[in-house]
Amino acid sequence: MKMRKLIISSLLLVTFNGNVNAAPFTIDGDLNDWGVSHNGNAADWTPDAGILYTVEDQYKNRLEPGYGGQRYDAEAIYAHKGTENLSIALATGHDPETRNNRHNYGAGDFAIDFGRDGSYEVGINIKPSWDVFGVIAGVYKVTEWAYGLWADDTTPGYVNAEHPTSIVTGDLLGLANLAISGPQTGFGAWNENHQHYFYEMSLNLDLLTAAGWQGESFNIHWTQNCGNDSIIVDPPSTVPVPSTLILLLLGFVGLSEYKKNRMI
């Protein structure tokens, strides 16, 4: 009897933990509710527990793979996948209203790669004032991407085709909730004169499903239209891992045994 109770408890624990997955964020361009602080040190970029993130706090003219220093620096990217929504945040030194011409390169769009195989199926359109494509915060099933300047750069692991910059063509699936802050100072280890801009967005997971997502792991990628500094974060798969499946199976066996004993 003790073993049966333990198995039933395991099932209830897995079910409960699977639902504690929604961390609400106010989409306003302020990342305080992500845990991003304002203390003027490297730890500023570390978010609250449970949030996935990548930090690349750089302070040099040579970025990876490009140049441009702080005004093209992608500092950090964050992601949280709940039961219904995907939330994304970005910290960058790049002004989102930078003009896109032969002297400057504007903000790119967010790209999502199902299966992390280098084929980016979904784009979230940022659309600065000069951009002629689509609608702001539009979530697109992308048929063609633009790419940056650093075709097959010598930076280890850098492949041009894996770093899309902005959407060229695609089908609109719906809208994300998007906010971009104005310039902020005082963040990070190199905070004295550095300005930062914060992107924050949330979109329903049904939009990813409509683009062909089946619960597999995916990348979230961002860079400018030149590709000077790209950044990626990897949310986990929602497909149950083997250990979870085993616990669920044991739980169902336990419930079956429990019901059988009650009938005797």
**What pLDDT was estimated at residue 17?**
30
Per-residue pLDDT tens digits for 223-252: 999 999 999 998 877 654 454 444 445 555
User: If pLDDT is split at 50, 70 and 90, which confidence band does 205 have?
Assistant: very high
More confident residue, 21 or 112: 112
Spatial contact of 175 and 138, defined as CB atoms under 8 Å apart: yes
Spatial contact of 194 and 33, defined as CB atoms under 8 Å apart: no
Q: What is the mean pLDDT of residues 99-114?
A: 93
**Separation CA 147–CA 160 (nearest Å):** 7
Percent of the chain at pLDDT > 70 equals 78
